[in-house]
Structure 1
Amino acid sequence: MAIMAWQEACQLDTSLRSLDHFFSTPPEYAQTLTGGLTNRCWKVKTHSSDCFVWRPSTHITKALSISRFHEQQILSLIKDTGIAPKPVYLNEYGLLVEWIEGEPLTDDLPFDSLLKTLAKIHNFDITKVPTVPFNYTARVDHYWMLLREELQLDQYRDLYQQWRNVPSLDNTIHSLCHFDLAGYNMVKHSEGHKVIDWEYACVSDPRLDLAITIGVTNEKPLESVYRYCQFRGIESVDDWVNGVMAWKPRAEVMAMLWYLLAYQLKGQERYLTEAQTLGDLLVSQSDQA
């Protein structure tokens, strides 16, 4: 993470200049933040020692279907829960949120603690969420259509076409979902664990959200679903197991297409490697079915 004077940072990322009207005096410094795959974010410190995170809007966020306006709406809705950073300022160039001081929970976070946090998010009241539910098919179609022809290999096309429709489940469930909850998006704070990076948050089937978390943490699906249902007092465990297992390959296809698009946008080989790994995993799972 590089720390630099405010004017130097503004030369590197011109979106920071849009904050000149927000701050009464130019901040002391800006610091690049690591860890995010989507876009470069900045820690901004003022001369009064107040700290914020600047989350810019760019062609990359647009391509990946990220809306800072939507993110601000979600954060405004849950600002009194104490689980997420509060939104501070929004303009066409990005979103400024409060800085959460603490240690990242990348290594020492028990999975039960992660599941409890996910369950807490899923229990939030969504009646005031000013947004339509997440459209899975529209999202994977969007990712696929943006891919250049040389990335639309037969293996990826077959998997995309096989899993582009939502699963046929007996009951419809909607809740607030984070869509990228793992230790790398949680902070150990004096007031408890905080969740950051809500740019993919939406109203959706929580079983898809649970499938995403199980996938990124490489935990065992059945045991994870049983533990999650225990934390939420859910008795219809079989419905949740069936739902998570139905969403699991779709979550993996969505992630595969995301990595392909991220590779196209940023040119980093690690994204292509991740996409290939997920594609091979999905093929092997289909062969075993």
Structure 2
Amino acid sequence: MTPLNFEAELRQLLNTRLPAVNTAGCHFSPVQGLTGESWRIDGEGISMLARQQTAEKGALGVSRKREARLLRRCGTGLGPQVLAQSNHWIIVEWLTGKSVTNEGFDALNQCGELAAMAAGLHRRPLSGYRLNLQRQFVSYWQQLDKRRLTPAWLRCQQHFLRITPPTPLQLAPIHMDIHPGNLITSAAGLRLIDWEYAADGDVALDIAALFRSNDWASVQQQCFLQHYAQHGYPDEARLHAQVQCWLPWVDYLMLMWFEARWQQSGDAEFLHWGAVLRQRFC
């Protein structure tokens, strides 16, 4: 779909679902991200973000219907408000504030605010969408470049499909993509954006994803767990052990995501990011 078609479809959605918005004065601009384009909508007194459901995003496990459900049920005051929704789009408020830097992210961990935010999310009601990593592994496998597969990789895939995932310590809404680029400091406090991989799952899985995606050293992990125990799951030792159980699952998920994104985009940077994981597993 061309940009003009995007704009026409979004204007129609706004006119239908948000008739009070003057679409004639709105400006539409693309917002780039790792998984494709979203569209920022600016007009008189409004600033919104439109997020599209595409076949590529669906293949990566993204569901805008699920994302909207999580935001409405679990994200109030923590994520952006959902303003409109259709089969192909969700439109959410554009959160104003400052993006968190790597240094700021480390400071949020040190002071405990990051752990408090994560624990706050994990206390929200369940969305009804349970995360199934094994089903996602099957989907990713179908998208891989068959020329890159090895017998060791096949054995690894079979291993993860055969074994039983860790039994959740605490089932809760989990974001699965907490990193500096998805955090905004605002007058209302710390806000979390980009909920496209959020679902219901074990709190320890969300923490394992946080540790791996930010490449945290053990001292940073320990700091987070100490603060988290004050706000969330209280048994720090047991939580640490459960996070360790989930780390191989997170590593394999990251490898498969990088490979699938490379197939979709042709951007060799994804292969570079996944090279160490591929060497380990394959």
Please give the TM-score of this superposition, normalised by the length of structure 1.
0.84
- Structure 1 residue 215 displacement after superposition: 0.6
Task: Give the match for residue 98 of structure 2.
Answer: 103
- Structure 1 residue 224 displacement after superposition: 4.6
Paired residue type of 1:113: E
Task: Give the match for residue 50 of structure 2.
Answer: 54
Higher RCO (C-alpha under 8 Å, 6+ residues apart): 2
Task: Give the match for residue 121 of structure 2.
Answer: 121
Task: Give the match for residue 78 of structure 1.
Answer: 74
1:154 to 1:26, Cα distance in 2 relative to 1, 3 A = farther
Structure that is richer in helix per residue? 2
Percent identity for Structure 1 against Structure 2: 20
Query: 1:30 aligned to 2:28?
Result: yes
Give the ranges of 4+ consecutive aligned residues of structure 1 lying more than 4 Å apart after TM superposition: none
**Distance (whole Å) between structure 2 residues aligned to residue 139 and residue 233 of structure 1:** 28
- Structure 1 residue 228 displacement after superposition: 4.3
- For this pair of structures, how many residues does the alignment match? 267
Please give the TM-score of this superposition, normalised by the length of structure 2.
0.86
What are the Cα deviations for residues 142-185 of structure 1, in whole angstroms up to 9, with x where unaligned? 1112223123234433433333434344x642001001011110
**Distance (whole Å) between structure 1 residues aligned to residue 77 and residue 62 of structure 2:** 23
**Distance (whole Å) between structure 2 residues aligned to residue 54 and residue 195 of structure 1:** 16
- Structure 1 residue 250 displacement after superposition: 0.7
What are the Cα deviations for residues 220-271 of structure 1, in whole angstroms up to 9, with x where unaligned? 3551563244332544222211210010011010011011000000110111
Task: Give the match for residue 3 of structure 1.
Answer: none
The answer (yes or no) to whether the contact 2:82–2:92 under 8 Å persists in 1 is yes
The answer (yes or no) to whether the contact 1:119–1:228 under 8 Å persists in 2 is no
**Distance (whole Å) between structure 1 residues aligned to residue 253 and residue 155 of structure 2:** 13
What are the Cα deviations for residues 67-94 of structure 1, in whole angstroms up to 9, with x where unaligned? 1111111111135x31110011111221
The answer (yes or no) to whether the contact 1:155–1:279 under 8 Å persists in 2 is no
Q: Which moved more, 1:133-142 or 1:111-120?
A: 111-120
Paired residue type of 1:271: F
Query: 1:88 aligned to 2:83?
Result: yes
The answer (yes or no) to whether the contact 2:73–2:125 under 8 Å persists in 1 is no
Paired residue type of 2:81: K
Counterpart of 2:23 in 1: which secondary structure?
Answer: coil
Q: Gaps (5+ residues) in structure 2? A: 16-21
Q: Which moved more, 1:158-167 or 1:182-191?
A: 158-167
1:144 to 1:224, Cα distance in 2 relative to 1, 3 A = farther
1:237 to 1:13, Cα distance in 2 relative to 1, 3 A = farther
